[in-house]
């Protein structure tokens, strides 16, 4: 039996640069930033404002509030996607809305018969689930006791509820999965779903990840771990600057990305609207090194990329890779380690290899980063435009960088038109998890 091939036939996005794929992509390639000051979030209570003011990092990648007509977020406009607001945490709401867009895009929504429903699975992950509900119920319990804990606390909280809600909303009855591997979640969700299809569990998977962690306690946690930027509170749009001299920590972001993965023959036979690209490789590795810091030479990242090339069947021709959507979160150590890892595999390509980090526009969506950035990578393949790395004025000149290691084209500040055929997308997470996906233009 010939190996089953897996392609992407639908996309859906809710991101700090917009709600909807068109809105997010056009803002991204025109160099707009989705990063704002936490003090300008709409309708903060006085207490919340004081809490945000007390945190040294005051920038965040927030899904913009407003009407869907302007590519912004108003949950009430999504009554078809979000059937029951009381049971649905914000992270699940983002996933439901992105899933609806992706299903419509793939034309895999109308008049599905029982066989099709049984043949469709869901794999949507999150790194933390509904943090806001944990906070609220803990505070209420502490102040007022047992009877103040919400009966819907648990269903709103669980990480797998985004997958569950999508499956229940549409009646999908294939495999249900929910991976949680910190910042590699979205990458693992796509990779695992791709394996399910390849192994014949089903022909269609709704895959992706979602995160809604813009909360003072969550931001405090990352700030206390010294992971967040604190030097650009007055200029939020300049705060995320991967590979730049003045990078000094990441910007927390929120949102969701969902893709429809489909077995190639299935997609062709039913006349899918569009094939954005093929998922040809999926690499995984562990650092075995430290809970939050990367191996300084990027060894785990190197092995994940190598494994993606190997499963893609192109490990003997790495020159094929034209573009890498880097994990680069704008931390000194992480960006440097990833750059060294890329150099160890692709150094011979020098500035013929394009490497950009869209976190400069969106911030770091944690679990959702893997899918959102995979979607940007697929659009780069299908549209022939490479998204820019914003705020990149002095490449590789931070303390500890060796400028001569930064040899690639990092697409500084402006998108570049370029037809590409193969792309890699990297994701690395706390706990030493590294994952990489390889996509090919059809």
Catalytic positions, please? 183
The binder of ligand NAG chosen from 137, 159, 374, 389 (CB under 6 A):
374
Tell me which stretch binds ligand NAG (CB under 6 A): 80-88, 156-164, 211-219, 426-434: 426-434
The binder of ligand NAG chosen from 12, 363, 425, 441 (CB under 6 A):
425
End-to-end CA distance of the chain: 22
Separation CA 204–CA 259 (nearest Å) = 10
The binder of ligand NAG chosen from 1, 2, 3, 43 (CB under 6 A):
43
Q: What angle do CA 116, 118, 123 make, to 5 degrees?
A: 105
Longest dimension (CA), the chain: 64
Alpha helix stretches (DSSP H) within 171-315:
185-198, 216-224, 264-270, 299-311
Residue 327 burial (CB < 10 Å; 0-12/13-18/19+)? buried
Binding mask 261-300 for ligand NAG (x = CB under 6 A): --------------------------x------xx--x-x
Residue 284 vs residues 262, 302, 303, 316, 406: alpha-carbon distances, Å: 22, 10, 8, 18, 25
Token readout for 429 is 């997470």
Binding mask 309-328 for ligand NAG (x = CB under 6 A): ----------------x-x-
Q: Which positions from 170 through 189 interact with ligand NAG, judged by CB under 6 A? A: 186-187
Q: Is 129 in the site for ligand NAG (CB under 6 A)?
A: no
Q: Write down the residue that tokens 């930064």 correspond to.
A: 406
Separation CA 64–CA 25 (nearest Å) = 15
Binding mask 134-173 for ligand NAG (x = CB under 6 A): ----------------------------------------
Q: Is 334 in the site for ligand NAG (CB under 6 A)?
A: yes
Q: Which positions from 237 through 256 interact with ligand NAG, judged by CB under 6 A? A: none
How many CB atoms lie under 10 A from the CB of residue 352? 11
Q: Which positions from 381 through 400 interact with ligand NAG, judged by CB under 6 A? A: none
The binder of ligand NAG chosen from 15, 130, 356, 426 (CB under 6 A):
426
Separation CA 62–CA 74 (nearest Å) = 13
Within 13 A of 399's CA, how many CA atoms are on the CB side?
1
Q: Is 402 in the site for ligand NAG (CB under 6 A)?
A: yes
Separation CA 51–CA 135 (nearest Å) = 14
Binding site for ligand NAG (CB under 6 A): 42-43, 65, 186-187, 190, 287, 294-295, 298, 300-301, 325, 327, 334, 337-338, 341, 369-370, 373-374, 377, 402, 404-405, 425-434, 436-437
């Amino acid at each position: 039996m010939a190996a089953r091939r897996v392609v992407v036939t639908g996309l859906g996005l809710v991101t700090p640069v917009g709600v909807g794929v068109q809105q997010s992509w056009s803002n991204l390639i025109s160099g707009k930033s989705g990063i704002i000051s936490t003090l300008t979030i709409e309708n903060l209570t006085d207490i919340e404002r004081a809490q945000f003011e007390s945190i040294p990092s005051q920038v965040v990648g927030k899904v913009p509030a407003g009407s869907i007509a302007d590519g912004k977020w108003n949950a009430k406009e999504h009554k078809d996607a979000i059937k029951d607001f009381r049971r649905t945490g914000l992270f699940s709401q983002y996933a439901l809305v992105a899933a609806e867009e992706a299903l419509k895009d793939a034309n895999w929504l109308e008049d599905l018969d029982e066989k099709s429903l049984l043949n469709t699975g869901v794999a949507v992950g999150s790194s933390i689930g509904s943090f806001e509900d944990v906070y609220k119920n803990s505070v209420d319990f502490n102040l007022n006791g047992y009877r103040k804990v919400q009966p819907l606390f648990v269903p709103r909280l669980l990480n797998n509820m985004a997958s569950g809600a999508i499956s229940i909303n549409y009646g999908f009855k294939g495999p249900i999965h929910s991976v949680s591997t910190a910042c590699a979640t979205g990458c693992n969700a796509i990779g695992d779903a791709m394996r399910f299809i390849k192994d014949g569990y089903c022909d269609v998977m709704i895959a992706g990840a979602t995160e809604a962690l813009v909360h003072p306690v969550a931001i405090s946690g990352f700030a206390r771990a010294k992971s967040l930027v604190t030097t650009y509170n007055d200029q939020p749009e300049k705060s995320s600057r991967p590979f730049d001299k003045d990078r000094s920590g990441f910007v927390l972001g929120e949102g969701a990305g969902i893709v429809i993965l489909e077995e190639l023959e299935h997609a062709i036979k039913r006349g899918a609207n569009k094939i954005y690209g093929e998922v040809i490789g999926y690499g995984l590795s562990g650092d075995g090194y430290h809970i939050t810091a990367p191996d300084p030479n990027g060894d785990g990242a190197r092995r994940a990329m190598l494994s993606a090339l190997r499963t893609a069947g192109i490990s003997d021709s790495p020159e094929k890779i034209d573009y890498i959507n880097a994990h680069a979160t704008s931390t000194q150590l992480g960006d440097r380690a990833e750059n060294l890892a890329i150099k160890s595999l692709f150094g011979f390509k020098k500035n013929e290899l394009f490497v950009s980090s869209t976190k400069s526009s969106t911030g770091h969506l944690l679990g959702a980063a893997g899918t959102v950035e995979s979607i940007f990578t697929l659009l780069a393949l299908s549209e022939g435009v490479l998204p820019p790395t914003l705020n990149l004025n002095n490449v590789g000149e931070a303390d500890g960088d060796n400028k001569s290691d930064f040899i690639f084209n990092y697409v500084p500040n402006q998108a570049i038109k370029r037809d590409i055929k193969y792309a890699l997308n990297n994701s690395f997470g706390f706990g030493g998890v590294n994952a990489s996906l390889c996509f090919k233009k059809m």
